[in-house]
Amino acid sequence: MQHPEDDQTLDIISYIEEKPAHGQTVGYIRVSTTDQNTIRQLDGVELNKTFVDKISGSTGIKDRPELKKLFEYVRAGDTVVIHSFDRLARDLNILISLIQQLNDKGVALKSIKEDITFNGANNAMDKFILHIFGAVAEFQKSLIAEARQEGINKRKKLGLYEGRKPSLSEEQQEALRARIKEKNSSMENYKKIKWSAVAKEFKVSEPTLMRYIKKLS
């Protein structure tokens, strides 16, 4: 004779057997606002859930709502699948940071185009690849800086380089000098005139304003 408790036991066993042994496979797709074809990026990949940002690649990470949701959704043991690394980030330093954040959560990342998988275990191979990525990022940065400096040197030789345009013109600096004098003319004015308001008046940041104050005082 079968007892009611046996049915409950079978239900529990069935639940355990149906529950995936591994985490979920989660897709992330980023397409520009003009590209409506989101399916082809991860075509043929079996996914439990997909997050899609229809947004330009130049848009900052903080302004990608679906990427934010993905990071909140994934758990240790999950795998995030992307078509290519540039779908996640174009800036290599930002890409490294995102991969590290996923690794820290125990979440794997697989890029189909590059055929590279970070298994989310923060193991020696993952760290080695991230180290290579970091070295490439530094190399790119140095190449850009070197090319910029070479361009400046060439313009200097031709007498075409005028240097960085100052934030405040000579006339504005004279006007700021008058404002400094006004602020320091009395205790009442010193309390009344705020540097934050003066910065807005001259349309510069407060740190920039303070540099000019130091220069003109």
Task: Name the H helices within 1-78.
Answer: 4-18, 65-73
Q: Which two tokens stand for residue 179?
A: 């404002």
Q: What are the beta bridge partners of residue 27?
A: 50, 81
Q: Is 32 a catalytic residue?
A: yes
Secondary structure element (H or E) that encloses residue 108, with its range: strand 108-111
Which candidate in 14, 32, 169, 185 is catalytic?
32
Rounded Cα distance, 215 and 209, in Å: 10
Q: Which pairing describes strands 116-118 and 49-54: parallel, antiparallel, or unpaired?
A: unpaired
Rounded Cα distance, 150 and 63, in Å: 35
CB burial of 65-81 (b: ≥16 within 10 Å; e: otherwise) equals ebbeebbeebeeebbbb
CB atoms within 10 A of CB 124: 8
Q: What are the beta bridge partners of residue 25?
A: 79
Catalytic residues: 32
